[in-house]
Amino acid sequence: MVKNIWKPLTLLVSLSCVSCGTTQEIEFEKEKLEFEKEKLEFEKEKLALKQQKQKYENRQLEMTQERKEDEGMCGTLYNILEGCYKQGKGQTVEICADLTLGLAEKLAPDFRNNPETLASFSLMCGKACAYASQGEVFPSFSTFQRGVCP
């Protein structure tokens, strides 16, 4: 008879463990789903940061390209004005004034079709020529760039 008393108790304990197992499995699945959700959120944030970084790098590249273009135009202007300066060596200021428009047209033919730009450029050319006629030193490119091409 003693054996029969233990049998229902063993059956009861084993049944409660079976229900415990399914509850534990459900909790485990919930935690697993929560983890997957957090993982997806993390990946979403990671992708957003990557996109921001790419936008930043693209803008930096654009700015570098713009700077190179500006330096290129500034370099061209510097070379033309240096030519005006060289024409003024050994001349008088009056001769530079007479040469200015013709010199500007000769050194920068692209400006011929734009009278306003040509007038402005010829003034700069005359100034460079006058510097040379007075024995002043033509500025270095870096000084020129800071002063004329900001």
Q: Quick check: 42 pLDDT over 60?
A: yes
Distance CA 17, CA 52 (A): 52
Render pLDDT for 62-111 as a digit per residue (tens, 0 to 9).
Answer: 766 666 555 677 888 888 888 888 888 888 888 887 777 777 777 677 77
- Compute, in degrees rounded to 10, the torsion defined by CA atoms 43, 46, 47, 50: -160
Distance CA 87, CA 31 (A): 83
The type of residue at 63 is M
The encoded tokens of residue 98 equal: 């007479």
Assign 91 to helix, strand or coil.
coil
Q: How many beta carbons lie within 10 A of that of residue 97, not counting itself?
A: 13
